[in-house]
A and B are shown apart, each in its own frame.
Chain A
């Protein structure tokens, strides 16, 4: 008998929680395929290392973009391989809870559940990411108080107000940390005339990226291909340049937080001033982001103790208390 699973099927990373065991898999959501035969060559970390470095016959892709499945068949294969890696076979069919962005369409919802069922799940239920994040961030969502969580993922940013185990207000934008990487790529191409890959853009973000000025800032040396000569070239990038490059993306995230605050009932809004808002997700690790949101909303922003694992932890809790919490699944009648 297979143990039931909770999956955070993120645009950037996929995490799997196994009932009674904890997190058993944490890998990039990437799959490498042979372009000619369609054969899977690698998944996860191994496939991620291939991005932008493959010969013509190999393609390393992220089958999810903006939290949505862009290629149903590849996603299904990726889920099947992930489930196999955690011990699911055709004879052991577990119940699966999958975290998805709250703004997904009915078609996307069906695509995810169908992919999981075809990949070997006996039953597949979906849970909204901000709700799972709030459970995983250990917020007191069982109490009649305003809890606010901001989940910044690879392709989506979602802000939710939660009280008494339910979502009170929600705001989502299909913008995330991959858009920050893309903004850096575009800036370097436009202003310095060199082309860099998405992994280099991510490295720049991690090294010197920030949403608000912070102390102790250094320049970074960036290597790419000169667009004029086609030769390798090195340029120096300053932190202010990166802040300028990613400002539109960061503004779009902070604007959605402000919209969510405006939707919250006044009784709950006053709780935020005392309790603050909680940041989760990999995008929340961008330096100065908490400070920037705090400056624009005048509400304290705190970092969740386990920002990268909060979503899968919340879904894991739902799989541990499946019967009591099944009313939280998307499409369930409450």
Chain B
């Protein structure tokens, strides 16, 4: 009986800890971080994959 109560208390504590950690992680993204992500996603390096994919498909099509 005591073991069961202790297990329940332990589970509740773990749950509370998990909720606290998740909510701390979910703090709103600040402007600087969001702007940096936006600009990084527009960098030539980020765009290279998409452009190369279409360019290669185009070149392959021309070669046929």
Contacts and interface: CB of A to CB of B under 8 A. Distances in A.
B32 interface: no
Interface stretch (A27-35, A105-113, A242-250, A313-321): A313-321
Interface string A134-177: 01101011100000000000000000000011000000000000
Interface in B5-59: 34, 37-44, 46-47, 49-51, 53-55, 57-58
A138 B41 contact: no
A22 B57 contact: yes
Contacts of B55: 305-306
Contact size class for B?
10 to 19
A135 B47 contact: yes
* Chain A contact residues: helix, strand, loop or mixed: mixed
Contacts of A306: 51, 54-55, 58
Interface of A: 17, 21-23, 135-136, 138, 140-142, 164-165, 305-306, 309, 313, 316-317, 320-321, 324-325, 327-328
28 contacts: A17-B54, A21-B53, A22-B57, A23-B54, A135-B42, A135-B47, A138-B44, A141-B42, A142-B42, A142-B43, A142-B44, A165-B38, A165-B42, A305-B55, A313-B50, A313-B51, A316-B50, A317-B46, A317-B47, A317-B50, A320-B49, A321-B46, A324-B37, A324-B38, A324-B40, A325-B38, A325-B41, A327-B34
